Amino acid sequence: MLYGLETVSLRKRQESELETRSRTPRSDGCRPPERLLPVSYDVELWPDAEGLNIFTGNSSVVFECVKETDLILIHANKLNLTSEATLSRLDGSPAPSITSANKTTGESQCLAFYLSEKLKAGERYQLHAEFRAELTEDLGGFYRNEYEHGAKKIVVSMWSRPTHTPGIFLCCHETKMEPELHISLLQEPGTLTNAEQRGVQQKV
């Protein structure tokens, strides 16, 4: 069951804060994107109905290459890839292959994707990744909460600021641009939601 499909842009009121942070070098080597500017995100999330302790998901980020580079740095806080990420060009022509992917050290929790050749300036590419992670209990990001109503009930909620986003999907959350964000939340049959249902599909 598919619900909660929405198109939003990053909050303008956070623009000045993000611009200030984007000019500040990071000691752990994971910097905001300077060569790749995100255009849009397409994200699908599926909480596990058994205990609601984990969720699986996939994300596709479309970005424009501003300056040639053979390295993609993207934020991913405690997200574990479940398959190899793929890179494609929007015009359908061949894209460089991903030769390796490594987590950076430090607090930034970035993934570094190394490419077989450099991306071309002015071209648009799409990075697709599938992942798995734990639902947090800190009332931020994509999290779970429990309450008693005759029996124990579990609620899964999302409340996200830029610092929470890397724990939900792979992203470049520090940017001067305002990329579009499309999120699809999937639920198991029989579970309840307060969001408008937009369609029905089977999880593969």
More reliable by pLDDT, 6 or 153: 153
Whether 164 is in a domain gets the answer yes
Whether 20 is in a domain gets the answer yes
153 CB-side CA count, 13 A: 7
What's the whole-number average pLDDT of the chain?
Answer: 76
- pLDDT at residue 62 in the model: 95
Whether 169 is in a domain gets the answer yes
Whether 204 is in a domain gets the answer no
Question: Per-residue pLDDT tens for 100-114?
Answer: 998 876 666 789 999
Whether 160 is in a domain gets the answer yes
**Is residue 194 scored above 60 in pLDDT?**
no
Question: Per-residue pLDDT tens for 63-118?
Answer: 999 999 999 999 888 899 999 999 999 999 999 999 999 887 666 678 999 999 99
Closest CA to 145 of 132, 161, 159, 131: 159
Q: Quick one: what percent of the chain has pLDDT higher than 90?
A: 34
- pLDDT at residue 109 in the model: 78
Separation between Cα atoms, residue 97 and residue 39, nearest integer Å: 21
The whole-model pTM stands at 0.74
Separation between Cα atoms, residue 47 and residue 124, nearest integer Å: 31
Separation between Cα atoms, residue 8 and residue 39, nearest integer Å: 12
Whether 194 is in a domain gets the answer yes
Whether 180 is in a domain gets the answer yes
Q: How many domains does the chain have?
A: 1
Question: Per-residue pLDDT tens for 11-24?
Answer: 333 343 333 333 33
Whether 65 is in a domain gets the answer yes
Question: Per-residue pLDDT tens for 124-149?
Answer: 999 999 999 888 777 778 877 777 77
Q: What is the CATH number for 111? A: 2.60.40.1730
- pLDDT at residue 115 in the model: 96
Question: Per-residue pLDDT tens for 51-60?
Answer: 568 889 999 9
Parent domain of 100: 2-199
**Is residue 3 scored above 90 in pLDDT?**
no
Q: Tokens 């499309």: give the residue.
A: 182
